[in-house]
Structure 1
Amino acid sequence: MSWFKRKDKKIQTPSEEKAKIPEGLWLKCNQCKEIIYRKEIEANQMVCPKCNYHFPISPEERLNQVFSNGKYNILFREIRPEDPLNFEAAKKYKDQLAKLEKAGKIDEAIVIAEGKMDKFNIVVGIMDFSFLGGSMGSVVGEKLTRAIEYCVAKKRPLIVFSCSGGARMMEGALSLMQMAKVSAALGLLDKAGVPYISVLTHPTTGGVTASFAMLGDLNIAEPGALIGFAGPRVIQQTIKAELPEGFQRSEFLLEHGMVDMVVDRKDLTDTLIKVLKLLYA
C-alpha cells in the first residue's frame, strides 16, 4: 500500500515489525544523491555505480584490496598516542583517545602493513580518516618513519594511501615537526633507490599534502578527491575571488601537473602492479 494511502487510513507499521528490518541496507550517494542498495556498492569496491563517486573506505577494506591473497602483517602496532603537551585545553584529547581505543581503533590514524602484491613484497601505509580526521600527530610521523627505515633495510617499495585533514592541532609543534621528519626519511629512501608511490584519496589536505603525500616517485589520485593545503572555502574567503570549477579536485590537479595519474579504485591495484614491474624492469 502506498504511503499516502496508509496515512489517510492511519495505518502504521508496528514497532516490532520495524525492528525486523535491517538498518544500512541502502546508501545515499554524496554526489548524485541516488539511493543505492549497499551490496551493489560493496560489489563495486564502494564506488557509486551511477556517478563513480568513491566512498571513503576503512583501512581493513583497503588492505584486502591491496593484498589480493588477503595475507598481511601489521607493523609497529605497539606505538600508541599520548597527550605530549598535557595542557588543560587538550583534556578532551585524552578522552577522545580513550574512546577510540575502546572502539578498537588501536592503530592510530595510520596502519602500516607488509605483504605481497603480485610477486612484490611491499610495505603499505593507510591513513584512517575516522581517527580524528586522519590527523598527523607524532605517532603517525613515527610509524611512517619506521616504515621508511624498514623499507630501506629490506629494499621493499613503499606505498602510502593518504586521507587526512592535516596536522593534529592537539599536539602543537610536535605535530608540525612530523612533516620535516617524514620528508627527511623519504630522502633516505630515495637515496637507497627504493620506490615510493603516493596514493591520494579524499580528502588529503594540510600538512600531509605539504609533506609526504606529494613526494612520491609517482603520485596517484583517486577520482574526485579533494587535495590541497587550505580548503577551497578558506581560500575563497581569504582572497575574495571565485575559484575555478573543480578547484583542488584530482582531475584539476592532474591538468595542472600536481599529480601524475587519476585512477579508479577498481583499477588501482593492477595499476600499482604495472608501475612496480616498470620500476623493477
Structure 2
Amino acid sequence: MLKDLFSKKKRYATIPSERAKQEVPEGLMTKCQNCGTILYTKDFKKNLQVCPSCSHHHRMSAYDRIDALLDEQSFKEYDKELIGKNPLDFPGYEDKLLADRKKTKLNEAVVTGEGTINSFPVVIAIMDSRFRMGSMGTVVGEKITRAIEKAIERKVPLLLFTASGGARMQEGVLSLMQMAKTSSALQMLHRSGGLYISIMTHPTTGGVSASFASLGDYNFAEPGALIGFAGRRIIEQTTRQELPDDFQTAEFLLKHGQLDRVISRHEMKETLTKILDMHSPS
C-alpha cells in the first residue's frame, strides 16, 4: 500500500502518486510539526503525542490528557453543560463559538472535574487550545473558579493544566475580570491549606499567564512550552533590545527562577504521584 509513497533508490520521500494518496487511509500518518518526521498516528498517540525523533511535545486535547493522566474510569466531569453567551454583542462571536463546539465537541475552552492519580484524589482543570485558542472568557473563569471551590470543599489538591492565548477579546473587560476572580479563589484555597499544582503547556500567554497559571504552590511546564505575557515583537520594540532565541520558553523561565521544573509528558504522572504522596494527610 505504501510502496508508491517512498522510492527505494533514494533516501528522501518522493511526491506520492494520486493512486498512493487514495490507498493511504486518512489519519493513518502524522507529521511532526517540529522536525517533519512522518509517524504512524496510532504509535504517535500511544507515545502521548511526543515525537520520538525530536521529543517535541505536540498540543494535546483535554480528554486525551485526562486519559493519559488519571486512573481509568475515575474522572467525573464538572459543569459540562455550562455555555457562554455574547454579553457584549460582539459581531460574529456566537457563530464562532458554535463552530468551535462542533469542531472540538467541547462547550468551552476548559474541562474540569475530579478523579484519581494512582489512587490519590484530585480536582483537575485542563484548558484546550482547540477552542478559541484556549482564550479565557467568563465561562472559562467560572468553571475554573468552581473547580477551585470544589477542591476547597473536598480538601483535595488542585491540578491545573494551562494552554491559552490569554483573555478573550470578544468579552472585553468581563474576560479581564476573570484574572482577579480566579486569583481570589486561589487565595481562598491557599488560606484553607490546600495544594495547587500549575502545569503550563504550549502556549500559556496573556492574562492566563499573568493570573492563575503563575500562582501554583508548584509551577511546572512541559518542554518547549511558550510562556509569557506580551509577545516577543512588542517587548523588543518597547525595550529596543534583541531578545535571546529561547526567550519565553519553559527552559528560559526555569533558568531564570520562574519555574520549579520542566517535566516531560512521559514523567508527568510519576512526578505528580510523588508530590501527591508527599502532601497526602495519610
| TM-score, structure 2 normalization | 0.90
Give the whole-Å Cα distance in 2 for the aligned partners of 1:209 and 1:14.
46
Corresponding residue for residue 9 of structure 1: none
Corresponding residue for residue 54 of structure 2: 51
CA offsets per residue over residues 177-204 of structure 1, 9 Å max, x none? 0000000000000011110100000000
Aligned to 2:92, what secondary structure does the other structure show?
Answer: helix
Q: Would the aligned equivalents of 2:71 and 2:115 in 1 still touch at CA under 8 Å?
A: no
Aligned to 2:238, what secondary structure does the other structure show?
Answer: helix
- Pairwise CA RMSD of aligned residues? 2.0
Q: Would the aligned equivalents of 1:80 and 1:106 in 2 still touch at CA under 8 Å?
A: no
Residue 56 of structure 1 deviates from its aligned partner by 0.4
CA offsets per residue over residues 57-102 of structure 1, 9 Å max, x none? 111110001113243111011321100111xxx2211111122233
- CA change 1:180–1:223 in 2 (3 A) is same
Q: Would the aligned equivalents of 2:112 and 2:126 in 1 still touch at CA under 8 Å?
A: yes
Corresponding residue for residue 13 of structure 2: none
Corresponding residue for residue 148 of structure 2: 148
Corresponding residue for residue 40 of structure 1: 43
User: What letter corresponds to residue 107 of structure 2 in structure 1?
Assistant: D
Structure 2 matches for 1:1-281, cutoff 5 A? 18-86=21-89, 90-103=90-103, 105-280=105-280
Aligned to 2:220, what secondary structure does the other structure show?
Answer: strand
Give the whole-Å Cα distance in 2 for the aligned partners of 1:193 and 1:94.
40
Residue 19 of structure 1 deviates from its aligned partner by 3.0
Give the whole-Å Cα distance in 1 for the aligned partners of 2:36 and 2:17.
27
Aligned to 1:149, what secondary structure does the other structure show?
Answer: helix
Aligned to 1:19, what secondary structure does the other structure show?
Answer: helix
| TM-score, structure 1 normalization | 0.90
Q: Give structure 1 stretches of 5+ with no counterpart.
A: 6-11
Q: Would the aligned equivalents of 2:71 and 2:119 in 1 still touch at CA under 8 Å?
A: no
User: What letter corresponds to residue 84 of structure 2 in structure 1?
Assistant: P
Q: Would the aligned equivalents of 2:223 and 2:263 in 1 still touch at CA under 8 Å?
A: yes
Give the whole-Å Cα distance in 2 for the aligned partners of 1:168 and 1:121.
31
Q: Would the aligned equivalents of 1:105 and 1:131 in 2 still touch at CA under 8 Å?
A: no
Give the whole-Å Cα distance in 1 for the aligned partners of 2:102 and 2:277.
41
Give the whole-Å Cα distance in 2 for the aligned partners of 1:13 and 1:206.
45
Deviates more, 1:218-227 or 1:27-36: 27-36
User: What letter corresponds to residue 254 of structure 2 in structure 1?
Assistant: L
Give the whole-Å Cα distance in 1 for the aligned partners of 2:277 and 2:115.
16
> How many residue pairs get matched?
271
CA offsets per residue over residues 134-158 of structure 1, 9 Å max, x none? 0000001100111111111110111
- CA change 1:104–1:30 in 2 (3 A) is closer
Residue 104 of structure 1 deviates from its aligned partner by 5.4
What is the aligned-residue identity percentage?
48
- CA change 1:104–1:258 in 2 (3 A) is closer
Residue 224 of structure 1 deviates from its aligned partner by 0.5
Give the whole-Å Cα distance in 2 for the aligned partners of 1:147 and 1:272.
18
Q: Give structure 2 stretches of 5+ with no counterpart.
A: 10-15
Give the whole-Å Cα distance in 2 for the aligned partners of 1:44 and 1:78.
31
